[in-house]
A and B are shown apart, each in its own frame.
Chain A
Amino acid sequence: MIRKDVLGIREMTKEDLLEILDTAGEMKKILVGNKDSDILRGKTVVTIFFEPSTRTRLSFEMAAKYLGAHFGNIEAKTSSVVKGESLIDTVRTIEKMKADVIVVRHNMSGAPHLMAKYLDASVINAGDGLNEHPTQALLDLMTIREKKGLFDGLKVVIVGDIVHSRVARSNIWGLQKLGAEVRLVGPATLLPKTFEKLGAKVYYDIDKAVDGVDVVMGLRIQLERQKSGLFPSKDEFSKYFGITEERMRLAKKDAILMHPGPINRNVELTSKAANATYSVIEEQVTNGVAVRMALLKILCERRKSNEISY
């Protein structure tokens, strides 16, 4: 990984991904150990979120602090940017306070890419519009690797509102680069056929999609999509595209269930399924801190050794 920034999984190689996952494994030892490291001493990490988030933002904060970095956070409202405050001006101000890494979430695809172009600081994309959520995909990959070992030949199904999901996009890129087969299932209004051109298999029947898979990944469905007429009702969605215990039985015996959270219980997955032994949803959260520690470490080391290509 020789780039200054982490903007997406799409531009990473298989080797980049494995390097990050290996580093995350080491970081997890610190995380479950004494949480006391000085790897990032003297470095400054700032998070700026233009969209509400609790877990991702806190996860970055913990990751930075466990590694001994200075940490700052800016509460940003998208509206102020829309009203004319330039996004670039905002982040350049943060940079001038000597931030080394700026973690950004933005409701518009490509916003972190725009920032990265105008900053010397490293930018980590914590989710941009519908485009990518690379750290979520990395923590998903880490969790799958812990449970399944190898990716080759693994079948993973992602369920729900695919078209509006940056988590789905990042996972599609990452899983395929590592050799897994990706299946997608959801209502046609939320899953256009075009996704086949990204190399995934598209299904509209969840029972067929789940059949024989190693991993079932649910996505949060935003309930306002129903109001814009993309699906008829919560009830119909959960009946035809919800993940239930019965449907989990169609997957491989040792299949795992994942979800990026927060869950709409009994909409995209039943409470029973979410709480079952095959559910690894809570482990995903812990791994989230580990992969974020890994990215901060890798980026700061590269900055130190000037291995960065701008």
Chain B
Amino acid sequence: MKLVIKDGIVIDGEGFNERADILIENGKIKGIDKRISLNDAISIDAKGKHVFPGFIDMHTHLRQPGFEEKETIKTGTHAAVAGGYTTVACMPNTNPVIDNEIVVEYIKSIAEKEGYCKVIPIGAMTKGMLGEEISEMAKLKDVGIVALSDDGFPIMNSGLMKRIMTYGNMYDLLMITHCEDKMLSGEGVMNNGIISTKIGLRGIPHEAEEVMLARNIILAKSTGAKLHVAHVSTRDSVELIRRAKADGVDITAEATPNNLCLTEDMVDGFDTNTKAYPPLRTKEDVDALIEGLKDGTIDVIATDHAPHTKDDKKVPYEIAAFGISGIEIAFSVVYTYLVKNGLIAIDDLVKHMSIVPSKLLKLTHGFKIGNDADMTIVDLGKEYTVDVDNFKSKGKNSPFNGQKLYGMVEYTIVNGEIKFKNDGNYQLSNV
């Protein structure tokens, strides 16, 4: 089957930004040229629209196996393609945990059968994510694992963390770390600051992130491990990463649309959809994250898509689940808040959401002849109102609900197949 994407503005995130046609054949990119005319090809008219290499999310919670009431591989990847993503890396905090080959193979097989996009499981650093014994990293590597994380269960034991880095580094595994000193965050449920003081919610101080980040930087330096910092949220974390990079530490970092665009002020009123880890921080933190994105300190925009049921959130703030469902609006959020406001260029957004994560996950990706035809077509001019009831994700927990955003995903193509097509009413449907 041949497919031609006609006359879109093609931005590859690596310097190419021109009107062009893209020819897809047998699931691969066959040509990118000013004008491609073929009689035997199906064509998509992308005039006035933008064509990007598919987004790649380094930080998704698909919840299956174990928490299928929150999300499944099917619904989560459906949400992903609705957001323009063609690959998601799913976090290991499932039940059972992704700490052995069987769970890895299970997820891959379900993704193969039911998934809408490519799924790359992330392995656990410790067995059961219990922070006690290191996982069987070599076996995980053999079934295709490229990155490890204990995500929401940071390794408090520094000796253990050093052993994880030392051992994992033999297999060139990326160490994705959720930086949080649990003793400092204590019973906190939101950012520690003026709003927490006003409304009487216990605060998570910014130091909780920075203390753990500083430790991990020191350990990465001494072990030579490849450290990737998940969801950076504070000003001083950005500075720590900036200095570590200057110091030659092998470190990369991601920030979420939530932390790049929203502040703690939204928590005033106790909307549990604003509850996430890391918590929404202050304007100064947001500004520092954007600055970090601009100067290369922050490498990746990752969603930390964390779907929960309505009941998980329909409780007092203190006991509501941490997490925001966001993969299907992530691009629009960042485009609206950052690109439309002139803070970063659209080319850079594509780089942070597609090209850089593909490299960290060792994927062959992007608009090169012969690569898998993974791409998304977006109408940047189209405005829509976020309605969580239209989410493909089971998680309706979004603080962006009701907001007007720009940049609507029109098509998502995975291996040359149209996996998502917007029918014009944000009633996203499978093709």
- Chain A residues packing against B (C-beta within 8 Å): 10, 81-82, 86-88, 106, 108-111, 113-114, 128-132, 163, 166, 169, 192, 194-195, 197-198
The chain A residue with its CB closest to the CB of B311 is A86
**Chain B residues within an 8 Å CB radius of A109:** 199-201, 270, 316-318
Q: How far is B217's CA from A11's CA once the two chains are assembled, in angstroms?
A: 45
**A-B contacts, 20 listed (Cβ < 8 Å):** A82-B319, A86-B315, A88-B314, A108-B316, A109-B200, A109-B317, A110-B316, A110-B318, A113-B269, A114-B314, A114-B315, A128-B200, A129-B318, A130-B202, A131-B199, A169-B200, A194-B194, A194-B197, A195-B197, A198-B194
Q: Which of B97-137 contact A (CB under 8 A)?
A: none
Q: Does B198 sit within 8 A of A, measured CB to CB?
A: yes
Q: Does B193 sit within 8 A of A, measured CB to CB?
A: yes
Contact (A129, B201) CB under 8 Å given A87-B316, A108-B318, A111-B316? yes
Interface pairs A-B: 6 shortest CB-CB: A130-B200, A131-B200, A110-B270, A108-B316, A111-B316, A109-B200
**Chain A residues within an 8 Å CB radius of B202:** 130
B198 touching A10 by the CB < 8 A rule?
yes
> Number of B residues contacting the other chain (C-beta, 8 Å)?
17
The chain A residue with its CB closest to the CB of B187 is A228
B312 to chain A, nearest CB (A): 11
Q: How far is B264's CA from A194's CA once the two chains are assembled, in angstroms?
A: 15
**Chain A residues within an 8 Å CB radius of B319:** 82, 108
A192 to chain B, nearest CB (A): 7
Q: Which of B175-214 contact A (CB under 8 A)?
A: 193-194, 197-202
Q: How far is B328's CA from A118's CA once the two chains are assembled, in angstroms?
A: 29
**Chain B residues within an 8 Å CB radius of A86:** 311, 314-315
Given contacts A87-B315, A113-B269, A195-B197, 5 further A-B contacts (CB under 8 A): A86-B315, A108-B319, A129-B316, A194-B197, A197-B194
B353 to chain A, nearest CB (A): 34
Q: How far is B269's CA from A128's CA once the two chains are assembled, in angstroms?
A: 13
Q: Mark B298-338, 1 if CB is under 8 A from A, else 0.
A: 00000000000001001111110000000000000000000
B115 to chain A, nearest CB (A): 32
Question: Quick one: which of A81, A132, A194 has the most chain B CB within 10 A?
Answer: A194
A10, A114, A169: the one contacting B316 at CB < 8 Å is: A114
Q: How far is B315's CA from A109's CA once the two chains are assembled, in angstroms?
A: 11
The chain A residue with its CB closest to the CB of B267 is A110
B200 touching A132 by the CB < 8 A rule?
yes
B13 to chain A, nearest CB (A): 41
Q: How far is B311's CA from A87's CA once the two chains are assembled, in angstroms?
A: 11
Q: How far is B318's CA from A169's CA once the two chains are assembled, in angstroms?
A: 18
Q: Mark B125-154, 1 if CB is under 8 A from A, else 0.
A: 000000000000000000000000000000
**Chain A residues within an 8 Å CB radius of B201:** 109-110, 129-131
**Chain B residues within an 8 Å CB radius of A114:** 270, 314-316
The chain B residue with its CB closest to the CB of A197 is B194
Q: How far is B203's CA from A194's CA once the two chains are assembled, in angstroms?
A: 12
A175 to chain B, nearest CB (A): 15
B200 touching A194 by the CB < 8 A rule?
no
**Chain B residues within an 8 Å CB radius of A195:** 197
**Chain A residues within an 8 Å CB radius of B317:** 108-110
B270 to chain A, nearest CB (A): 3
Q: How far is B319's CA from A198's CA once the two chains are assembled, in angstroms?
A: 26
A126 to chain B, nearest CB (A): 15
**Chain B residues within an 8 Å CB radius of A129:** 200-201, 316, 318
Contact (A198, B316) CB under 8 Å given A86-B311, A130-B202? no
A109 to chain B, nearest CB (A): 4
The chain A residue with its CB closest to the CB of B189 is A109
Question: Quick one: which of B198, B270, B316 has the most chain A CB within 10 A?
Answer: B316
Contact (A198, B197) CB under 8 Å given A86-B314, A108-B318, A110-B316? yes
Q: How far is B315's CA from A82's CA once the two chains are assembled, in angstroms?
A: 9
B175 to chain A, nearest CB (A): 32
A106 touching B200 by the CB < 8 A rule?
no
**Chain B residues within an 8 Å CB radius of A113:** 269-270
B272 to chain A, nearest CB (A): 8
Q: Which of B264-319 contact A (CB under 8 A)?
A: 269-270, 311, 314-319
B193 touching A166 by the CB < 8 A rule?
no
B316 touching A106 by the CB < 8 A rule?
yes
B169 to chain A, nearest CB (A): 37
B315 touching A194 by the CB < 8 A rule?
no
The chain B residue with its CB closest to the CB of A168 is B200
Q: How far is B196's CA from A169's CA once the two chains are assembled, in angstroms?
A: 12
Q: How far is B313's CA from A87's CA once the two chains are assembled, in angstroms?
A: 12
The chain A residue with its CB closest to the CB of B194 is A197
Question: Quick one: which of B200, B202, B315, B317 has the most chain A CB within 10 A?
Answer: B200
Q: Mark B245-260, 1 if CB is under 8 A from A, else 0.
A: 0000000000000000
Q: How far is B198's CA from A87's CA once the two chains are assembled, in angstroms?
A: 24
**Chain B residues within an 8 Å CB radius of A82:** 319
Q: How far is B269's CA from A181's CA once the two chains are assembled, in angstroms?
A: 26
**Chain A residues within an 8 Å CB radius of B311:** 86
Q: How far is B317's CA from A168's CA once the two chains are assembled, in angstroms?
A: 21
Q: How far is B311's CA from A197's CA once the two chains are assembled, in angstroms?
A: 35
**Chain B residues within an 8 Å CB radius of A198:** 194, 197-198
**Chain B residues within an 8 Å CB radius of A163:** 197
Q: Mark B195-238, 1 if CB is under 8 A from A, else 0.
A: 00111111000000000000000000000000000000000000
**Chain A residues within an 8 Å CB radius of B270:** 109-110, 113-114
A192 touching B318 by the CB < 8 A rule?
no
Q: How far is B57's CA from A280's CA once the two chains are assembled, in angstroms?
A: 62
Q: Mark B352-385, 1 if CB is under 8 A from A, else 0.
A: 0000000000000000000000000000000000
